[in-house]
Structure 1
Amino acid sequence: MSDMPSHVPEDSVLPNWIKAPQDFFGGLALVAIAAFALWASSDLQGMRGFSFGAGTAPRMFGILLLGLGFAIMLVGVLTEGPRLAVYAWRGPLFVSLAILSFAVSIRPMGMIFAAMASFMIAALGTHETRWKETFIVGVCLTAFCAILFPYGLGLPMQMLPTFLNR
C-alpha cells in the first residue's frame, strides 16, 4: 500500500486529446488576442515589402504572439499538464467595474464623486472588506487626489458635479 492518494480520473467535458487543458486554453487566449491585434492593425500603413509604417510593429508582434499561442496550444495537446484551475472572478470584475465607472462618471460628476465611487466599487472585490475602514481610506484618498491634481500637478480638473458648478 502506498501513502499517496489515488488519482481518480476526473469527469471532464473536454476531449481526450487535450492533455494539458491549462496550457491549451492559455494558448487559445493568446491566439485570440493576436487575432484581434492583427485585425485592429489591418488598416494601418506599413509592412508592405520594405515599407515600414504605423502598422509594422503591431503586425510583427501579432504574428509572433500568434505563433507562440499555437505553440503553447500544441504543448497542451502533446504533453500531460495541469487541469484548469479555479479562478476567482470577483476581484477582477469589481476592479474593472470601478475603472469603467470612473471613466463614465468623471466628466458629469466631477473628480471627488468619481474617485470615491470607484474606490467603493473596487472594495466590493473581496468579501473581507471592512466598510468603516474602507470609507475612511476612500475619503482620505479622494481628498489627496482633490489636492494633488489641481494644485500639485496644475491639472484643470472638475472637482464637483456639473450641476453644482452653475
Structure 2
Amino acid sequence: MKKNTGFIFYGAIIAFSLIFIFSAISLNENYYAGVVNQPLIITIGACMIGLAFFELYKRTFEKRHAISTAILCSISVIFLIVVFPSYNYTEAGEQLMNEYENEGHQVALEEVTTPSFVGNEQPTLFISRYYVHSVTIEDEDDSYFYFVDPSSGETLRLETFDE
C-alpha cells in the first residue's frame, strides 16, 4: 500500500471510530435509556483509534494490516448491534401497557425522572441497567412502578409504600 493511500485509509478509520463512538453513545442514551455499558462502547472505539494511530506511527502500511483493520472495524459494528437489547425504552413501555390492556384495564404511562436503574443483578453481561416505567391504572386510580428487562422484556412490579 502506498504511503499516501495508507494515510488516507487510517485517517478514515480514525474518523469512522469517532463517528462510531458518538453515534453508539447517542443511540444508547436516546433510544435505550443508557442501559448498555458505555465503557464497552468507548473501549471498542478507542481500540480502533489506537490501532489506526499505531499504523500511522509505523508508516509501513502493509496491505494485510489494512485488511485486518477493516475486518476488525466490521466485527466491532456487528458486535455492537448484537449487544444492544431487544427492546428499546419506548417498546418496553408499550409492551407493559399491552399487558394491562389485555386484562381489560385503561392504563397510561407516566414519565419518570430516571428512565433506567441499576438493579441487584445485571440483565446480561453487557447490559447493566433495567428500564423503569410508571404505570397508572385509570380504572382503579392506582400507580405502579416496573422494572423491565431490556433484553427479554420481562417485567417486575416494584413495591411502593405510601404514607
Instruction: Please report the TM-score for the alignment, with normalisation by the length of structure 2.
Output: 0.26
- The structure with the greater share of residues assigned to helix is 1
Who wins on radius of gyration, i.e. which is larger? 1
Instruction: Please report the TM-score for the alignment, with normalisation by the length of structure 1.
Output: 0.26
- The structure with the greater share of residues assigned to strand is 2
